[in-house]
Amino acid sequence: MSIRFEESRRVFSLETENTLYQMRADETGVLVHLFYGRKTDTDMSYLVRGGDRGFSGNPYEMRGHRNYSLDQLPQEYSCRGAGDYRISAFETVAENGSRTSELRYRGYEVIRGGAAPAGLPHVRPDKDTETLAIKLEDTALNLEVTLCYTVFPEHDAIVRRTSIANKGDRKVFLEKAASACVDFLYGDYEMMHFHGRHCMERLPERLKVPRGVLTSGSRRGMSSHQNNPFVILCDRHTTERSGECCGFMLVYSGNHLEEFEKDQYGSTRVVCGIHPDGFSWQLLPGESFDTPEAILSCSSEGFNGLSYNYHRLIMDRVIPEYFRTADRPILINSWEAAYFNFDAEKIVKLAESAGELGIDMLVLDDGWFGKRDSDNSGLGDWFVNEKKLGCSMKELAERVNEKGLKFGLWFEPEMISEDSELFKAHPDWVLCDPDRKPVMSRNQMVLDMSRPEVVDYLTDCMCGILESANIEYIKWDFNRSVANVYSATCPPERQGEVGHRFMLGTYELLRRLRERFPALLIEGCSGGGGRFDAGMLFYCPQIWCSDDTDPIERLEIQRGTSYGYPVSAMGSHVSASPNHQTGRRTPFSTRSVVAQTGTFGYELDPASLSDREREEIREQLADCHRFHYMLRDGSYYRLGELDECGEYNAWMIVAPDKRMALVNLVVTHVRGNPAFPYLRLEGLDPEARYQLAGIRRDGVNIDPINAGPATSVVFTGAALMHGGISLPLMYGDYPSVQMYFTRVS
């Protein structure tokens, strides 16, 4: 049993393989948080103590007990206005204007098989999964708030969400409804978040949690390039290899907020959920509201241990089941090879040169529809521009298939151009404030996905194209932030719902496509990595990691992404040199080493390459097929600490049975008279013996015996993990090395 309830003390214990999450309904009915961390097999109530604190008020029923105050109690779901002055998880406005909420325990049930939030992506349960549903009540508002905790023991994960139901006869406005709230009684913590910008996403940053409030979030209508909906609370001594840390990941792709507060007595509170700015949900009698899920996980084995938990859970329970064991095609994308300047002949020639090298799929990017010869027009007109192509989409797909390649297509469904036929017919289908001109970005506007007729239109258009030709992949783009969040169909009192209803509409469109085309590979994209989150991964098993394809930039982007998301979900391609975003020149081999740690592909024209480079592509493809199952099913480890990556970046992947391991290193700053790089490996069997079976330096295979890493090429796993291994010195511009180990005993 992963869920236990001790009735005499009303203590709930949620257990995974290595962790314990514990709470207690106290004598007043407040649901008190007791503990979240490494398993203890103990009632942790003894940690919670009261004291007479100045100006910390007492609930009415405890007015004679000055040592009892919500202002110092650790709570499972904190409310505004009832004496807890820290950040709140729940904020309401009653019909009479009252802004106070008070929640008290009313009971619980254990649900077998889980309970998914309505219309939202979620962590998929199975028949044996258990969910604890704790019911709280605000008697003045007649609200029933259900806190749901779904336990995934083998993944060391607990998934939280909240459901709010109006049981009364008056409407209530929800102004904040967080997915999770967790209090840590004491500790000197740091917060790690993943910030960035377009073409430089998910850069890890550690900040000391101050006395006060520290936040990370997005108001951009998407999870954003700027702040990912995944954060970590960690001990200040935590490293990649050791130490305590807890992760909080929203299964959501819209506006989000993660808050950290260290209070006056040293307790730290973490709250995460939909961003309350601009959010207001009118809950009429009989209606209910479900928050997105939040995935919580704790590790006492450092950041690599926490990443391992998230990677396994996302692969096993989040991405569509069809793609969990399916090989991903190695594709070539037409964008950097052709941009908008193409016709069918050019695309077929690209397919022919790619097919000769063994590439699996060609993806036709932007520019094939409507009046779309630049990024200033045509969005919304999802009909094939046969005049530009010179043929139908069916004919083009058939010609690409004849060259031995699968065929894929680019879409940007949620956007619309001002000059489109769709806008002329339905100008009210855009998000736009009355009597204002809209904010423009890339000369495009945003469709109102909260309207069912918009979702129906896009369903008909996209399904019609997908059924007209043999299209096995789509790239789903979203190339601007959302502004002017106003829907022409919502009454004034419900405009605060539009942002969330927009996401529900997007998820509904994705759900319909997944249901209709279960084998269709959808790659998420939002100007690259602007919607890289667990919500999109529920529908899209891979996401284009960043529009920046420079491998040296990608080292940072992919490393940061790996803290929460598996490498098999990262779209990563070899692009041309000099790079189109930075102008940097890098070796072909280094570009491949970086791109191989992801869903591998190419973003260039093979016909423009030298014979040697084309031969390197064949070697790269052979490596990808050789190591593909390790990338999909194996364990990924970052080698070295974040602050040690000034001269090189290193990582490794270990096969599920620990019989093979692939170690990668790229030198980012070559120095004169350098020191030897030493790496401590991770994830091996310490009792086993491993042979250094191969070294590839700058794309050239080297005899391990003559490479000079050691006097022997056979090591124990313990030696490689605790003593490490030295790598050969490397010179030139951004050199790289790969080392391949196999278990011999």
The one-character DSSP state at 406 is E
| C-alpha R_g of the chain | 27
**Token pair 């790079």 in the structure block, residue:** 579
475-501 burial code (b ≥16 CB/10 A, e <16) = bbbbbbbbbebbbeebeeebebbbbbb
Phi-psi region of 273 (alpha: psi -120 to 50; beta: other; left: phi over 0): left
Q: Is the peptide bond before 578 cis (omega within 30 degrees of 0)?
A: yes
Residues 6+ apart with CB under 8 A from 567: 311, 558, 597, 598, 631, 636, 653
The one-character DSSP state at 723 is I
Strand ranges for 99-208 from DSSP E: 104-112, 130-138, 143-152, 157-166, 172-184, 189-197, 200-208
The residues with which 474 forms a beta bridge, in sequence order, are 409, 522
How would you classify the pairing of strands 268-274 and 281-283?
unpaired
Catalytic residue among 613, 619, 647, 685, which?
Answer: 613
Alpha helix stretches (DSSP H) within 314-389: 335-338, 344-357, 386-389
What H or E segment, with its residue span, contains residue 500?
Answer: helix 498-516
- Is 533 an active-site residue? yes
Strand ranges for 597-688 from DSSP E: 599-603, 635-639, 648-654, 660-667, 678-679
| Dist. CA 178–CA 333, nearest whole Å | 39
Report whether 252 contacts 275 (CB < 8 A).
no
Strand ranges for 668-744 from DSSP E: 678-679, 689-697, 700-702, 714-716, 725-726, 736-743
| Dist. CA 34–CA 533, nearest whole Å | 30
Of 656, 643, 623, nearest in space to 736 by CA:
623
Residue 605 in tokens: 């024209």
| Dist. CA 622–CA 526, nearest whole Å | 30
Report whether 348 contacts 403 (CB < 8 A).
yes
Alpha helix stretches (DSSP H) within 426-497: 452-468
CA-angle at 243, arms to 269 and 187, nearest 5°? 35
- Is 613 an active-site residue? yes
Of 742, 572, 558, nearest in space to 638 by CA:
558
Catalytic residue among 293, 533, 605, 623, which?
Answer: 533
List residues with catalytic annotation.
533, 613
